[in-house]
Structure 1
């Protein structure tokens, strides 16, 4: 992670028949051929919750201009993939991605993901991002079983998602407990903790 090297993400949330193998097939055969040639494309991450049949597809982009330019292709590919899978698109969102770090052991399918959802005063997000980058992220990196962490930010609403990938459930819970003092400090800075959810890695590609 390098401060200032902000990327951008488009998040598509789908629900329906939960079939990771079929979803990966659509990613390889439909989505990647349709977007990987676009300027600024930096990869795709897919996670899911088998208990609800929900999947989240994140495509990552170098600049906001790259993100905007890819919208039309993304809409068409979303319709094609959703029709083939028989699911429903619940929503599409675009996020700033100011902090992302992947260890020398990148995420692989089946690994657990912890997602924390917060809200802040939008006018204080610059300070919040800096705090996360220089205080929280190093603690993630040094935690046993850590694989990756990313911070998604909506600068209009103040919503923040922090997703982290771990070797197993034990290291995930240990990491969550280890970072409790950081969350306490974030509350002092105005964080409103909304929820904590679990997902699993379905697909991971960075470039």
Structure 2
């Protein structure tokens, strides 16, 4: 599968209105596009950050949807977004354990990886990191996204509630540190969000 992420920052006071528009109209527009497989919407209300991820069956569907929706998307985001970063990814691994209820949270780690080491990262994540992280209480889903051309990756993890997210930090940090050495990657940033919407995504 393939993923498009949109990362917006802006005035926290204007976040909720745009988040609701993306959750309703945005989801409806995406759902009408061929090849659409799911979406996530995540917010940091304190700092004023919105992250949108849309999942696609193939790269051509992702590209076509971008062309079809870019104008309306920009209009929808304009009341909030002062900065917008759009990235495209391949999703070699995606696991969704259960449906999420109110209060769910999301952690995102951005990684630097040499293009030649992407397959090593995928193997290390699948065979070493994922089986251990899946034992962490409260984990509700996890995915690995890679950008082979630019040497980047991202790991997203869903948790059932904030208490589970907070309690997981130590154990996940240890797994991250060991896996980083083995996979020859560097963690560039680490962020946590509230989950506004996370629809089911088929396993990859």
Q: Where in structure 2 are there 5+ consecutive unaligned residues? A: none
Matched, 1:15 2:16: no
24-33 or 154-163, which deviates more: 24-33
Asked if structure 2 preserves the Cα contact closer than 8 Å seen for 1:107 and 1:148, the reply is: no
Inter-partner Cα distance in structure 2 for 1:143 and 1:178: 8
Given candidates 54, 59, 63, the residue that maps to 2:49 is: 54
**Which secondary structure does the structure 2 equivalent of 1:144 belong to?**
coil
Q: Where in structure 1 are there 5+ consecutive unaligned residues? A: 1-6
Give the CA deviation at 1:74.
2.5
**Which secondary structure does the structure 1 equivalent of 2:199 belong to?**
strand
Given candidates 134, 140, 156, the residue that maps to 1:141 is: 134
Match of 2:40 in 1: 45
Asked if structure 1 preserves the Cα contact closer than 8 Å seen for 2:3 and 2:89, the reply is: yes
Match of 2:93 in 1: 99
TM-score of the pair, normalised by structure 1 = 0.85
Given candidates 105, 111, 117, the residue that maps to 1:112 is: 105
Given candidates 75, 80, 99, the residue that maps to 1:80 is: 75
185-194 or 33-42, which deviates more: 185-194
Give the CA deviation at 1:31.
1.6
**Which secondary structure does the structure 1 equivalent of 2:178 belong to?**
helix
Give the CA deviation at 1:29.
4.2
Matched, 1:183 2:182: no
Match of 2:30 in 1: 35
TM-score of the pair, normalised by structure 2 = 0.86
Give the CA deviation at 1:195.
2.3
Query: How many equivalent pairs are there?
Result: 199
Give the CA deviation at 1:24.
4.5
Inter-partner Cα distance in structure 1 for 2:62 and 2:89: 10
Give the CA deviation at 1:178.
2.3
